[in-house]
């Protein structure tokens, strides 16, 4: 028995892959550091010539992005400058003997891939202490984005992430489970063709042996595509074709990537509210604007002989000085003909509208 154990250990040493040196991964960092960026205070990684994966930090938010994926905790950002992405390797082809590491210029982070996640609610795992960075082979292909908790986001997920402008993951309304080397239907959420405890024997004509590959075949499937199953039910073969739909993410409180609407009005601390058309919408009682003679419906044309084109310009002008001569336009039916103030300069236009110079002081 001891001889067999020794022989096994000997053959294991023969097939073992030599551990790479720290310098190998430091060289990988130097070669690929252009793919690693800081984007608005968050760590980011180039996925293509104009797409960035930005790792969301707690209590932080980007103002402009394509989408935020809550499953991966990543923003997808399309840049207006060119990026230098790192070539992607296939993490699924690696064995437990293959060495991987996080490219870092100062400290070694070297080990193996411990586990590939079986579904989107978990992450791929490493068997060594990690940090946020690019996970790769000694030189020089990327395998994914390493996280600080010993997990990583593999390339197969990143490729799907960058494929769509919205958060899309495929679903067929069924959950699977592996028992004693076979794969069964665990739960039916939204697919009456399946029954609990159906044994899945083939997928798209190929034998099913790996629940991870089965789940990812569904997750990465295109919208509206069809997946073909063969299941064993009560010792009878049943063929099922299932159309892929979008996974429900309604329970996530996703930040909106829509630009904030431009403001449509502003209120001055002088008691004057103005809308986007430069029309006065409110004059506060007892305010400076009220004392100057402003009325609701007045249109502001000039401030101190400067033509006003929008209320942002008006806001800036009123913030700069203390004494303003403001040209307003007022409809004739609102003109208080019986009570002109001495500070009002009346100019008629002949079209039922009148222009006034109103003095407004802070």
pLDDT (tens digit, 9 = 90+) per residue, 176-208?
A: 999 999 999 999 999 999 999 999 999 999 999
Give the model's pLDDT for residue 351: 57
| 292 in Cβ contact with 325 (< 8 Å) | no
Higher per-residue confidence, 346 vs 136: 136
- Going by pLDDT thresholds of 50, 70 and 90, the confidence category of residue 11 is very low
Burial 270-297 (b: 16+ CB within 10 A, else e): bbbbbeeebbbeebbeebbbeebbbbee
- Going by pLDDT thresholds of 50, 70 and 90, the confidence category of residue 63 is confident
Other Cβ atoms closer than 10 A to 264? 9
Give the model's pLDDT for residue 340: 45
Give the model's pLDDT for residue 8: 47
Distance CA 337, CA 339 (A): 6
Give the model's pLDDT for residue 310: 87
* pTM, entire model: 0.67
SS3 (DSSP) at 92: helix
- Going by pLDDT thresholds of 50, 70 and 90, the confidence category of residue 109 is very high
Give the model's pLDDT for residue 121: 86
Q: What is the mean pLDDT of the chain?
A: 87
Q: What backbone torsions phi and psi does residue 81 show, to the nearest 5 degrees?
A: -130, 155
Distance CA 160, CA 221 (A): 9
Distance CA 152, CA 109 (A): 13
- pLDDT reading at 353 higher than 60: yes
Give the model's pLDDT for residue 341: 44
- pLDDT reading at 342 higher than 50: no
SS3 (DSSP) at 253: coil
Give the model's pLDDT for residue 6: 42
> Among 309, 323, 333, 334, which Cα is nearest to 357's?
323
pLDDT tens sequence across 132-181: 999 999 878 999 999 999 999 999 999 999 999 999 999 999 999 999 99
Distance CA 165, CA 99 (A): 34
CB under 8 Å, gap of 24 or more: what pairs does 198-204 form? 198/231, 198/232, 198/233, 198/238, 199/231, 199/232, 199/233, 200/176, 200/229, 200/230, 200/231, 201/230, 201/231, 201/232, 201/237, 202/229, 202/230, 203/227, 203/228, 203/229, 203/230, 204/228
Give the model's pLDDT for residue 94: 93
């Amino acid at each position: 028995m001891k001889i067999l154990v020794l022989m096994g250990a000997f053959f294991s040493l023969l097939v073992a892959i030599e551990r790479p040196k720290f310098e190998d991964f430091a060289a990988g960092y130097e070669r690929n550091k252009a793919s690693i960026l800081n984007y608005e205070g968050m760590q980011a990684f180039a996925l293509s010539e104009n797409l960035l994966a930005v790792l969301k930090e707690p209590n932080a938010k980007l103002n402009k992005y394509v989408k935020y994926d809550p499953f991966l905790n990543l923003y997808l950002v399309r840049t207006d400058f060119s990026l230098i992405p790192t070539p992607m390797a296939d993490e699924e082809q690696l064995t437990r003997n293959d060495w991987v590491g996080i490219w870092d210029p100062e400290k070694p982070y070297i080990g193996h891939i411990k586990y590939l996640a079986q579904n989107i609610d978990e992450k791929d795992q490493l068997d060594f202490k990690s940090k946020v960075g690019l996970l790769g082979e000694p030189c020089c292909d990327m395998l994914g984005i390493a996280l600080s908790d010993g997990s990583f986001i593999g390339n197969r997920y990143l490729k799907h992430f960058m494929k769509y402008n919205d958060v899309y993951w495929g679903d067929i309304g069924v959950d699977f489970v592996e028992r004693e080397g076979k794969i069964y239907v665990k739960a039916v959420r939204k697919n009456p063709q399946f029954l609990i405890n159906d044994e899945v024997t083939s997928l798209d004509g190929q034998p099913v042996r790996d629940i991870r590959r089965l789940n990812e075949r569904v997750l990465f499937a295109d919208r509206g595509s069809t997946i073909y199953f063969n299941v064993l039910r009560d010792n009878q073969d049943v063929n099922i074709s299932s159309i892929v739909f979008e996974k429900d993410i309604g329970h996530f409180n996703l930040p909106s990537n829509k630009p904030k609407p431009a403001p449509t009005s502003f209120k001055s601390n002088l008691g004057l509210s103005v809308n986007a058309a430069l029309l006065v919408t409110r004059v506060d009682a007892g305010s400076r604007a009220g004392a100057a003679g402003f009325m609701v419906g007045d249109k502001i044309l000039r401030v101190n002989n400067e033509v006003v084109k929008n209320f942002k310009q008006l806001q800036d002008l009123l913030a700069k000085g203390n004494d303003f001569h403001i040209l307003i336009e007022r409809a004739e039916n609102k003109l208080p003909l019986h009570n002109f103030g001495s500070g009002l300069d009346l100019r008629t236009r002949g079209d039922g509208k009148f222009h006034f110079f109103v003095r407004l002081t802070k």
